[in-house]
Amino acid sequence: MTVRAYAKVNIFLKICGIRNGYHELRSRFVRVDSLYDTLTFSKKQHLSSSFELISSVPIPVSNTITQAYALLKEVAPRIEKFFRTHKIVLEKRIPQGAGLGGGSSDAAAFLNFCNDVMDLKLSKKKLALIGEKVGADVPFFIYGYPSANVEGIGEFITPFEEEVPPLKLLTPPIHCDTSLVYRAFREHFADTIDPDAGKMWMQMESRKLLEELEPLEANDLYKAALTVYPLLRKYQAPHRFFSGSGSTFFEQLKNQL
């Protein structure tokens, strides 16, 4: 049993306020179907009470999947029985620290799998409420929309009907720490916060946004990331946008439209 956990990019990302220490945003998330991790749920050789996760790359002992498991077990204790006999093999293809939401997508794929296969009968809204405790991007992946407007601290998600434009991704060998980038934004750019930023863009197709916006204008975290990781400047180019807190750049492939 294998499920895919897709990457995402932010077509635009505006910081609109700070609430209880959390940054409120307004953003367009689009799913990247060509890039994904896989989670394979397979039988253990021996019965074990421990939750077993094997990853193709090093990940922290406390990671988004183990966090999602602990939270889901609180509302659905019977999942523990399944994981006495099954383990998860995580094949990581989405780069870490790249602004592509890989860890969040992994957690969402895990929650959706458990809900479906174990017939937990939890609504998407309930799963999203669990997921947002793991990370702000998790609810977007729970719903599985190809494109959506995301607001608040990630909890308000509205599907956006459009044909997602083909994108070319470039991920430099730079691991961006999200917390450091947000800290840099607070320290250097907090005075630029506009509560209405990005409102007009929410009704525009992603294709049009990528044609009309300037990369530095589109993502409020871009300049912050440059202050923390100046080597990112090496990869800047006209019409090359920046996803989330980085380090991935992307651009629209116009010849495929």
**168: annotated active-site residue:** no
Candidate list 8, 14, 37, 220, residue with the active-site label? 8
51, with CB counted inside 10 A (0-12, 13-18, 19+), is middle
**8: annotated active-site residue:** yes
CA neighbours closer than 13 Å in the CB half-sphere of residue 152: 11
Q: How far apart are CA 185 and CA 216, in angstroms?
A: 13
What stretches of 13-135 show up as alpha helix (H) in DSSP?
Answer: 64-75, 79-85, 102-117, 124-131
CA 239 to the chain's CA centroid: 22
Torsion (CA) 93, 89, 119, 51 in degrees, nearest 10: -130
Answer whether 155's CB lies under 8 Å from 139's CB: yes
Candidate list 14, 37, 106, 137, residue with the active-site label? 137
What are the residue numbers of the active site?
A: 8, 137
